[in-house]
Structure formats: structure tokens, C-alpha cells
Amino acid sequence: MFEYFYNEILRRTVIAFGTLFNDIVIKHTDAVGEISEIIRVPLAYGPTQKFLARLEQSPDLNKSTAMSLPRMSFEFTGLTYDPTRKVTTTQQIIVKDPDDGSEVKKSYMPVPYNMQFELSIMSKLNDDALQIIEQILPYFQPAFSISVQLVDSIREKRDIPVVLENITMQDDYEGDFSTRRVLYYTLRFTAKTYMFGPTAAASKDIIKKSTINYLSGTNTAIRNRDVTYSVKPRAVRDYTGDIVTLIDADIDNATTIFNVADGTKIIAKKYIDVNGEEMYVKTVSGNKLTVKRGEDGTTAIAHPKGTEIKGIDYTDTTTSVGTMGVDSAVVPDGDDFGFDGSTFF
């Protein structure tokens, strides 16, 4: 049932979340209002308790230690399924190989999950903490989207909304006057990411081109050929069910020139499927088509006005999914391809 794969989606989302807060600075001013110090607030991954413990504990009994404030830390705290963003599980994303553009890869639609994060802000001075908070809150209304490339193999990049859920503040000031004071704010976020499964070749071992060379005579050492046949496979029927336009008037089984509702969606030198009859589109002029009827063994029949026209092997007919497309030009296994041969003398 299961196979090994690792898209690093959770890791990429954690890194992307952290980069949102790694350039925050605070400024200190002197008595006359001049800037006396600019501090870039350090950011680290880890639980808040770990950093607070370092304020009170020393790793070396002979050496005291302290932590400079302010500073921030963030942590990935939970993962939950999000049923509100669920899509059809059997739908597939099919793309060309991003490396060479030849092989076709596919992946099933992703599963929506929510990742919970906590961002902790630790400060000795309340003004420092407020400077940090005010540099964060205006960007979350209540969500801020970050673009993350989730799957390298299909170059799948999606916008991940990061939602600010709530903010809490605590003044950790207990004990006598010698106890160090720590103010810390906790901001809780939810990142709405997607989990992709393994990717695979959509159709393996598809013939892309076949060439047959015939020898001149019986001497196999002769490299010259009298005739070369070259064929290129293509689909002979529509597999996606996408309707590109409609017939605009009744036609009989001999009509080769007719009008459609929208000729801009028809591609010349391509094939169309009209109620099971395959036609080859010679030319497109406005909404007028000139076609060859009954191609690849199909029967030319009469079609009434409003009959649906579907494109066959329309490489530019795609449905946008994130930044990638669902390619309807894929030839599935088992298709007889309808070889169109051309002869060269």
C-alpha cells in the first residue's frame, strides 16, 4: 500500500514561517530623542521554556551565564486535518517534467492540513516588546500568504495563508528585587498547507516517434535508404470531456464547412470530437470551420444545432492548479494512437 517518498513539505513550511520574522529590529533613543542603538532581534527555533531556563541555569558551575534580551523563538506545535478545503481525491495534477519537458509526471490532488505555530517574544523592556509586536500585527488581517514550493519534482508552488489566531502576554516577575524580569508575548498562528503524495510518470513507455528505414537492395552495408516512413503517435478520442464550443446550426453527414458558437476555442490542424465522430480541422475563419469528416474509422453523421464539440490532443487546454496545469494532451496507456504516417522519397 505504501511506498517511500519525502517531499519535505512540513520542513519547507516551517522554514518559510520562520523567515517571516528574521529581519525585525528595534531602536533605542537617548534623552534628546536621537537613535542611540539599533538591535536586530535574534530568532531561533525551539520551545520558549528552553530559552527561559537558560536565564536561570548555568551549564558550568564556575561560570555564570545570561541571555541578552530581546529575542524571539518559534516552534511547530501541532498538525490537524482541514476538511473545509477538501477536494476530489481522485483528481490528478499532470505536468511535463520540469527538467527536460518530455516525460509527463502526475500526482494526486493534495490533502489539506493546518500547521500550528507559536512565536514567543522575550524582552526585558516593555517598549522593546511593543516595537516588535507593532512590526508584526499590521501584516495579518488576520492572514498573510507566503509562497512555498512544496514539491520539487513537479515544481508545485502554492500560496500558504498564515493566520494569526491569538496573542497572550505574561510578565514573569516573581521573587525579590534581584530576580530578573522577563516579559514575553506568545503569538499563535495557523499555516494552511497541503500534503502531496508521491509523483510518478503519468504514462510509461509511450512511443513518441517511430521511424522505419528500407534498404536499397540486399546489401546491408549500404547506409542510403530509398524510403523513410516516420510516424508520430496521437490520441484518437477525447479523454478529458472538456467542451470547447457548440455547433451553431444543423449539419448533415456530408457538410464540411459549418459555423460554431465560438471559433476562437478551436485549433486548426487539430482533431475534434463531435458526438463520437472524429473530425480534422483544416482551417478556422472566425466562427467558420472547414473540416474532414469521419476520421480514424469513425462514421460521419448528422449533428443538430447545439451539439457539443470536444478538443482532442489540445495541448493548450489546461485547468490551472496553483502554478501548474492539468495537461489534457496526455495519451493514456492502451490507446492505439491513430498513427498518421508521412512518406519521404
Taking a C-beta distance cutoff of 8 angstroms, is the pair 311, 244 a contact? yes
Scan for cell 464547412, then name that residue: 257
Q: Is the full-model pTM beyond 0.85?
A: no
- Domains delineated in the chain: 9-201 (3.30.2000.40), 236-328 (2.40.33)
In the sheet with 225-232, reading across from the earlier edge strand, the strands are: 210-215, 225-232, 340-344
What DSSP letter does each residue of 224-258 carry, written as one string? -EEEEEEEE---SS-SS--EEEEBSS-B-TT--EE
Q: How many Å apart are CA 330 and CA 203, to the nearest integer?
A: 8
| Nearest residue to 122 via CA among 190, 178, 170 | 170
Per-residue pLDDT of the chain (345 residues), as tens digits, is 577 888 899 999 999 999 999 889 999 988 888 999 999 999 988 876 665 565 555 555 444 444 578 889 999 999 999 999 887 766 777 777 655 666 667 778 889 999 999 999 988 888 999 999 999 999 998 899 999 988 887 788 899 999 999 999 887 665 555 555 678 899 999 999 999 888 776 544 445 555 555 555 566 565 555 555 555 667 777 777 788 999 999 999 999 999 999 999 899 989 999 998 999 999 999 999 999 999 888 999 999 999 999 988 775 443 333 333 334 444 444 444 444 444 333
Contacts of 4 (CB under 8 A, 6+ apart): none
One-letter-per-residue 3-state SS of 266-333 = CCCCCEEEECCEEEEEEEEECCEEEEECCHHHCCCCCECCCCEEEEECCCCCEEEECCEEEECCCCCC
